[in-house]
Amino acid sequence: MITKEIVLSNESGLHARPASMFVKEASKYKCDIKIIKDGKEYNPKSIMSILSMGAGKGNSIVIQAEGEDEENVVNELADFIQNKIKD
């Protein structure tokens, strides 16, 4: 199991369009992924879950993956959030 903590820096965090972009991206991976915020677990393959997380700019979240290619998945998702998401 691999985890990585990141701080959201884009303007609307994981609210607006970024939420749906992120869900589409996360759904590509087969392994078991979780997002943890304030001790609660969320499902990155679910738009409802990501939106109800209410993660805004400056919030810190943990990405956790377990299974096939877990290290790569965590790094790629972190990179996606930090560099590829646009408001």
> Which residues are known catalytic residues?
15
Site string for other proteins, 36-65 (x = CB under 8 A): -------x-xxxxx-xx-x-x---------
Question: Contacting other proteins (CB under 8 A), which of 11, 41, 68, 69?
Answer: 11
Residue type, 41: E
Write down the least CB distance from residue 86 to other proteins, Å: 7
- Distance between terminal CA atoms of the chain? 30
State the pairing for strand pair 40-42/60-66.
Answer: unpaired
Count of chain residues binding other proteins (CB under 8 A): 18
Alpha-carbon gap, residue 20 to 25, rounded angstroms: 9
